[in-house]
Amino acid sequence: MERVGLLAGIGFLPVECAKAARAQGNEVYIVSLLPETEECLKEYATDYQEISVFKVGKILKYLKKNKITQVTMIGKVTKELLYAHKAMPDLKTMQILMSLKDRKDDTVMEALVAAVESTGAKVVDQTALIRPLMPAAGVLTKRKPTEDEKKDMEFGFRMAKEIGRMDVGQTVVVKGLAVMALEAIEGTDACIRRGGQLARGGAVVAKVAKPQQDKRFDVPAVGLTTLRTMVEVGAKALVIEAGETLLVEQDKVLKLADENDITIVAM
Residues 107 and 155 in one domain: no
- 58 and 142 fall within a common domain: no
Q: Give the domain range for residue 106.
A: 3-123
**With bands split at pLDDT 50, 70 and 90, how would you rate the model's confidence at 232?**
very high
Residue 104's nearest CA partner among 188, 53, 163 is 163
Shared domain check, 166 and 110: no
Compute the distance between CA of residue 128 and CA of residue 113 in angstroms, rounded to an integer.
17
Residue 88 lies in a domain: yes
**pLDDT tier at 85, thresholds 50, 70, 90:** low
Read off the CATH number of the domain in which 11 is found: 3.40.50.20
Residue 226: which CATH number? 3.40.140.80
Neighbours of 197 (CB within 10 A): 16
**Cβ 7 vs Cβ 72: under 8 Å:** yes
Are 17 and 139 in a shared domain?
no
Residue 199 lies inside a defined structural domain of this protein: yes
Boundary of a domain, candidates 60, 90, 123: 123
Which residue type is seen at 266?
A
Is residue 166, in this structure, part of any structural domain at all?
yes
Where among 104, 123, 142 does a domain terminate?
123
| 18: in domain | yes
Q: Are residues 23 and 75 in the same domain?
A: yes
- Looking at the structure, tell me whether residues 175 and 113 fall in a common domain: no
Signed CA dihedral, 186, 252, 4, 39: sign only: positive
Note the pLDDT tens digit of each residue in 18-75.
Answer: 999 999 999 999 999 999 999 999 999 999 999 999 999 999 999 999 999 999 999 9
Number of domains composing the chain: 2
Per the domain annotation, does 129 fall within a domain?
Answer: no
E strand or H helix that includes residue 56: helix 56-65
Element (H, E) at 190: helix 188-199
Q: Indicate whether 260 and 142 sit together in one domain.
A: yes
Asked which of 117-131, 149-163, 227-241 is least confident by mean pLDDT, the reply is 117-131
Same domain membership, residue 162 and residue 114: no
- Residue 128 covered by a domain: no
**Which residue type is seen at 206?**
A
Select from 59, 29, 54 the least CA-distant residue to 42.
Answer: 29
pTM: 0.89
Confidence of residue 82 (pLDDT cuts 50, 70, 90): low
Question: Which of 98, 123, 148 lies at the terminal end of a domain, its last residue?
Answer: 123
Write the CB contacts of 163 (distance below 8 Å, at least 6 apart in sequence): 169, 170, 172, 182, 183
| Residue 79 sits in the same domain as residue 20 | yes
Would you say residue 74 lies in a domain?
Answer: yes
* Predicted confidence band of residue 98 (pLDDT cuts 50, 70, 90): very high
User: Do 175 and 149 share a structural domain?
Assistant: yes
Same domain, 101 and 140: no
Q: Is 169 among the domain residues?
A: yes
Q: In this structure, are residues 168 and 183 in contact, taking their beta carbons and an 8 Å threshold?
A: yes
Phi, psi of 10 (to 5 degrees): -80, 150
pLDDT value for 66: 96
* Shared-domain flag, residues 187 and 94: no
